[in-house]
Structure 1
Amino acid sequence: MLSNTTDATGLHQRVVSNTSPAPSKAAFERNYKVPEFTIKEIRDCIPAHCFERSGLRGLTHVAIDLIYLSLLFLAATQIDKVQNPLIRYLAWPVYWVLQGIVGTGIWILAHECGHQSFSTSKTLNNTVGWILHSALLVPYHSWRISHSKHHKATGHMTKDQVFVPKTRKQVGLPPLEHSETEEEAYGEHLDEEAPIVTLFWMLIYVLFGWPAYLFGNAKGQDYGRWTSHFHTWSPIFEARDFSDVILSDFGVLLTLGALVYASFQTSFLTVVKYYGIPYLFVNFWLIIITFLQHTDTKVPHYREGAWNFQRGALCTVDRSFGKFLDHMFHGIAHTHVAHHLFSQMPFYHAEEATYHLKKLLGEYYIYDDTPIAIACWRSFRECRFVEDEGDVVFFKK
């Protein structure tokens, strides 16, 4: 169901709720009118100071997150000294969850660097971003390049880099004209998985989807051959990107070397406990956040005939993860529309910008207040393919 609500600020916004019956969804898609805003019109609604970047402010956020990380690490060194085994067994998961949250925040700050929104200095941005992302086994420049292409073509069926929907043909369904009626297109087309099977694949996806994307372009644009962020000849890159890809690989190798060295100095299990499991939690949050930002039955995808930058930038959903996580994740989830429209806007101004964007965008600003776990389950089950034809297409199941 799609409803217009008034939020706490008194602003009109479009709220996603996918509990409506199939005919309502069909009617929504038939009657959908693409947004006609110009990028200048959108930019002019945001105060100029929201685009101002401060290296000092950015570094302060990095320092705070590194303090959090260090304090948690130091606290974890005391866990195995506790005599009570029950407390030890409870304390380690608490450390893993909290350190994963902090690590995700650090990842997001490196992401800011890649967008050059961290400061006005490209050198500072790329230095900080390379260090932080390398420490998290992310090839900084390689991903920066592909992520820039994602922002330049968000929602484009053949040019977007990630969360590209499969088509009806790709999932092995007969053409739409074989259906008896248009409404039949909204029925159960793909065989329903048992809930336990869906849960299993969701778990695999949220834990390993991120490295699978980096290594093998999982959920990425189909280039017709193996694509990786670690190879200079990958179709993601151009010849001018060669040195950046090599530098990115070197950063990841440095971190892997440090982890191997640490495992010899301590033990493999120690490295897993202090780094490996929090790393999996970082993967978990990255996939959850980005999957929900771009995967919903009410979010359109465009083919060449209908796509433009601002339409594509609006193909994303804002949602809150709660005040604590919104703070730790530097607002990346509940201000993502603003971020996609203006990726060089620093995150600490994005909330104010979102306030003004709501006024202008009206129903084209999408906010989903569904609980996170339910939203993940819903999107995973219902966003399975789009039609083979049409300039504007929506997910179906």
Structure 2
Amino acid sequence: MACRVPGLSLDFKGPQQRPFRSHHKLSHPSSTGICYLKLGSFHHHGNNGISIKNHNLLFPRKITQIIQAEAVPAPAPTSELDSAEYRKQLAEIYGFTQIGEPVPTNITLKDVTDSLPKKVFEIDDIKAWKSVLISVTSYALGIFFISKAPWYLLPLAWAWTGTAITGFFVIGHDCAHKSFSKNKLVEDIVGTLAFLPLIYPYEPWRFKHDRHHAKTNMLAEDTAWHPVWKEEFESSPLLRKAIIFGYGPFRPWMSIAHWLMWHFDLKKFRPNEVKRVKISLACVYAFMAIGWPLIIFKTGIVGWIKYWLMPWLGYHFWMSTFTMIHHTAPHIPFKGSDEWNSAEAQLNGTVHCDYPAWIETLCHDINVHIPHHISPRIPSYNLRAAHQSLQDNWGKYLNEAKWNWRLMKTILTTCHVYDQERNYVAFDELAPEDSQPIKFLRETMPDYA
């Protein structure tokens, strides 16, 4: 096992034999080794053998505080996650409020779905159109703020407006899952219109997203984000550097690359899907051909950047951030199709994350995400009631968090390359010479939870 502090690598050789990185204290039920670092000296108490690799540790200022680090294993196998104390410790390190215990193999997804109250599946037209009203009003308010805000308040106006148009995406998301209206034509029209300001083709996204739900956290088949393949990472120095930036500091906007790669290539769709894909692409291109010139005509190129591009980048920040938090954590595995289990993937492999109330309101509770993966037919306005039911009946299996910097830092600096035993290997472990962006994140990102 291994424990690191900046500039120093401590290799603990014990029964677990897998590295784990942390800047936080953690004790493991089966490990008693404790190390102390004080003014460059190292003292060991315990039974584990230790080897020390000193990498020219520099002290720019006098250090007077004792740093205590206890040897722990890396992302744990099922047997270790059975321990409540261990899960509690991992939750603190990763920035979770709770890490769920493993789902027993005899529990099926149907068992979980059947436990939900029937009312959470009911479509309410008034609530559905209320969500449309909230999004349209908040977006209009955001455009007004942008038009009136002095330059130093524009970032706040962009943040509000980008969050508001994320609500458009959630409305289209409900339409794609047939949980917005009982009239399917209405759903297709509303979904297409809701996606247009985002330059998102509705039908291509719907086809790909359905596969994400059917194959959630399945290693090769999931169409949302998944770990980087080691072979891909090592295939080319240029590609490796691009991946490091993309899955590191640029990850909160990586949905832009995903949008371009997955939704505009007709070759990625089945023959029976192509006709609907072409219709959606035509709508998007028409919006770009008509809407963008109108914006530029009225406000100029600077106005296009100010009123459309910056809120759009704000939307992609949420799109990327929500997606990676929903399904990415050091302890949540991606599995091959031969060992994948739907109840485990949807109930135990999906993360509930609480955000500030204004974000939850503008984004229509999309981050109440576990019930959405138990059944995509649950409308967004019923997700909280469904989640309460899951907590009552299956609460010990749920992964839950409240958004915090430690959670983001864990994902951005740890969850990189796929490893069958450890789930993830960080870039700077495989290619330290190319991983300065990850080192930068480790050193500069806040660690508050």
TM-score (norm 2): 0.68
| Mapped pair 1:247 → 2:317 | no
CA shift digits 1:57-89 (9 cap, x unpaired): 21121022101211232343334xxxxxxxx12
**Kept after mapping to 2: 8 A contact 1:302/1:312:** no
The alpha carbon displacement at 1:292 in A equals 0.9
Hey, what does 1:210 align to over in structure 2? 255
Deviations 1:215-258 (A, max 9, x none): 12xxxxxxxxxxx3112222xx1101111111111121122121
CA distance in 1, matches of 2:260, 2:245: 24
Q: Unpaired segments of 5 or more residues in structure 2?
A: 1-21, 27-69, 82-101, 427-449
Deviations 1:310-359 (A, max 9, x none): 222131111111222122211111x1011011101011111111111123
> What displacement does 1:156 show?
0.7
Q: Which residue of 2 aligns with 1:46?
A: 116
> In the aligned structure 1, how far is the partner of 2:344 from the partner of 2:225?
16
- The residue correspondences of 1:367-382 to structure 2 (distance < 5 A) are 367-369=400-402, 371-382=403-414
Say which SS state the counterpart of residue 301 (structure 1) adopts: coil
User: Aligned partners of 2:362, 2:204: CA distance in 1, in Å?
Assistant: 25
For the residue of structure 1 that corresponds to 2:267, the secondary structure is: coil
In 2 relative to 1, CA 336–89 (structure 1 residues): closer, same or farther, beyond 3 Å? same
* Cα RMSD for the two superposed structures: 2.7
- Structure 2 match to 1:274: 307
Structure 1's 22 and 380: CA in aligned 2 closer, same or farther, altered over 3 A? farther
Q: Aligned to 2:225, what secondary structure does the other structure show? A: coil
> How far 1:151 sits from its partner (Å)?
0.4
Equivalent in the alignment of 1:295: 328
CA contact (8 A) 1:108 1:330 kept: yes
> Contact 1:54–1:120 at 8 Å: present in 2 too?
no
Deviation readout 1:10-62 (Å, 9 max, x if unpaired): xxxxxxxx854663446544545553322232122211101101233211210
Rounded to whole Å, the distance in 1 between the matches of 2:307 and 2:299 is: 11
1:242-391 correspondence to structure 2 within 5 Å: 242-257=274-289, 258-314=291-347, 315-333=349-367, 335-369=368-402, 371-388=403-420
Query: Partner of 1:105 in structure 2?
Result: 167
Q: Does 1:154 align with 2:216?
A: yes
Structure holding more strand per residue: 2
Counterparts of 2:264 and 2:396 in 1: how far apart (Å)?
40
Amino acid at match of 2:394: L
SS in 2 for 1:318: strand
CA distance in 1, matches of 2:298, 2:375: 46
Could you say which residue in structure 2 is the equivalent of 1:394?
423
**How many Å apart are 1:284 and its aligned residue?**
0.7
User: Partners in 1 of 2:208 and 2:294 — Cα distance?
Assistant: 31
Would you say the 8 A contact 2:75–2:330 is kept in 1?
no
Q: Secondary structure at the match of 1:103?
A: helix
> 2:197 matched to 1:128?
no
Quote the residue 1:11 is aligned against. none
Alpha-carbon shift at residue 163 of structure 1 (Å): 1.4
Contact 1:215 1:229 in 2 (8 A): yes
Query: Cα distance 1:67–1:30, how it changes in 2: closer, same or farther (>3 A)?
Result: same
| Cα distance between partner residues in 2 of 1:27 and 1:71 | 47
Greater shift after overlay, 374-383 or 273-282? Answer: 374-383
Q: Distance in 1 between matches of 2:230 and 2:103?
A: 22
Q: Which has the larger radius of gyration?
A: 2
Aligned to 2:272, the other structure's residue is in SS state helix
Structure 1, residues 166-196: CA drift from partner, whole Å, max 9, x if none? 24454449xxxxxxxxxxxxxxxxxxx9xxx
* 1:164 alignment counterpart: 226
Taking the aligned partners of 1:319 and 1:243, their CA distance within structure 2 comes to 37
65 and 110 in structure 1: CA distance in 2 versus 1, 3 angstrom threshold: same
CA deviation profile, 1:272-301 (whole Å, cap 9, x unmatched): 111111111001111011111111012122
1:90 aligns with 2:90: no
- Per mean C-alpha deviation after superposition, the further-off stretch among 351-360 and 257-266 is 257-266
Q: What's the counterpart of residue 10 of structure 2?
A: none
Q: Which contiguous aligned blocks of 4+ residues in structure 1 show a shift greater than 6 angstroms?
A: 197-201
* Conserved 8 A contact 2:127-2:381: no
Q: Is the contact made by 1:297 and 1:396 (CA closer than 8 Å) also made in structure 2?
A: no
In structure 2, C-alpha distance between the alignment counterparts of 1:346 and 1:214, rounded to whole Å: 24
Unmatched 5+ stretches in structure 1? 1-17, 80-87, 174-192, 217-227
Task: Determine if contact 2:217/2:333 at 8 Å carries over to the other structure.
Answer: yes
Asked whether the equivalents of residues 263 and 271 of structure 1 are also in contact (C-alpha less than 8 Å), the reply is yes
Query: Given residue 425 of structure 2, which amino acid in structure 1 is its aligned partner?
Result: K
| AA at the equivalent of 2:336 | R
Cα distance change of structure 1 residues 168 and 247 upon mapping to structure 2, 3 Å threshold: same
C-alpha separation between the residues in 2 aligned to 1:22 and 1:233? Answer: 49
User: 8 Å contact 1:65–1:102 — kept in the other structure?
Assistant: yes
Distance 1:330 1:22, change over 3 A: farther
| Aligned mates of 1:75, 1:385 — CA distance in 2 | 42
> Relative to 1, partners in 2 of residues 1:302 and 1:201: Cα closer, same or farther, differing over 3 Å?
closer
